[in-house]
Structure 1
Amino acid sequence: MSVFAGRFAGRTAVITGGASGLGKQTAARIVAEGGTVALWDLSADNLAAAKEATGASFTVALDVSDADAVAKAAADTAAALGKVDILICSAGITGATVPVHEFPLDSWKRVVDINLNGLFYCCRSIVPLMLEQGYGRIVNVASVAGKEGNPNASAYSATKAGVLGFTKSLGKELAGKGVIANALTPATFESPILEQLPPSQVEYMRSKIPMGRLGLVEESAAMVCFMASEECSFTTASTFDTSGGRTTY
């Protein structure tokens, strides 16, 4: 893991979905680069292990689809860390892998609640903290599926497209106020979320990547860390691709 010594010195970050995958990898890197991290995740057991593995300072076990729980977590985290400079929304689920006409209603609603509503609740609760201090970096993790759509993944594709539109709106609202908001659009990379998918779906997504392989979580974490840093100072309301050549716009 390449480290920019001291890049996040004095900075604090909240990372949702922080107990595994991209969230966990990004947390470890921010800590290694001098930052202080709070991990939010649904699994209390996984949070305990991730806290030890990453060096995070604070954890909150919560369901991001619960707006009241998110608001409380934001207040508790700000009190514990003193401030919140960075928000990385990487919590997400895939939902069912079936055609639209067979999609279970409960799965559709759950994907929307986690991937889109939950991300909105997190931004809604933390943006005021950033505006008060006149500084912030927001990274919303979307997906190449939000740009191109994946068959048999309509809920996931729709919510990730929603994340892109939401981030563009948010970034424009905050432009000139010291708070930068961008979205990451990765192609499929090695992550525990792949366990939610049948092998045939993973192979389909791999086959669409011109580089001929899945991404590495470290590659997306490196991009997220740039997006979350002071160096990312003039690009907002935009998307950053880590797609192995798959995305076309």
Structure 2
Amino acid sequence: MMMKKYTAYVSALLLLVLGLFSWGCDQEQGDELPLSFQDFKIYPDEMYTLKNNGGWSTFELRPLVNDSIRTQVTIKYSQPVHGQLASGCNGGTEMCYVFKEDFVGDDSLTYTVCSDKICKTEKILLHIEEPLPTSQCISKLGADSLETTMNTPKEIKLFANDILFCPGGSSYGPIVVQPRHGSLRFYDYGGTSYKSVTFIYTPHANYVGEDSFTYRADMGYGVSQDMPVKVTVKAN
């Protein structure tokens, strides 16, 4: 009788230990991020800069500024056609684009972002422009318009068709009239041309129709100019 009780006790203890061991294994697997948390979105990038970066030989690539990432990722780049890549060239961790001396035109490369289980690839387009001679640098704003569909954010580079930062101190300024039927936010890559600054217009939920906003630029010598931007939101 005592032997049966002892055997039953040992069996119960063994089952308890095995149960705890199994529970521990389940917890360890549960520490992994679910696939939904590892998912992310990346978007193509378009950057403007001047030949030889206006006197600098490199600038940092920061393609994640417009991406939606909630988990730890790694980034790999392809090589551009008309320049080279170098890591940590400014003492940081970002990858840098090294200019081919005196090259003017468009260059491109791709970047691949990977979480633990997901990888996605997008394109980086680089516009490398010739600086305007001082005599031809006359501040000017170009007309802009934006079209999108219901519930769909849309990007616009407001200053890509403007001439700014000429003698006299011209520069871009704030949004002075906000849209009535949507919202605006912006991002900047840093270290590139003012033309790279990108605004994102997001229409209000289910809105379809016309909208607008206005930005202001300092044209130099104490003169400012306002430029309205027409927005059209179409049905899906």
Q: Which structure shows the higher helix fraction?
A: 1
* TM-score normalised by the chain length of structure 2: 0.32
Query: Highest CA radius of gyration, 1 or 2?
Result: 2
User: Which of the two has greater strand per residue?
Assistant: 2
TM-score by length of 1: 0.31
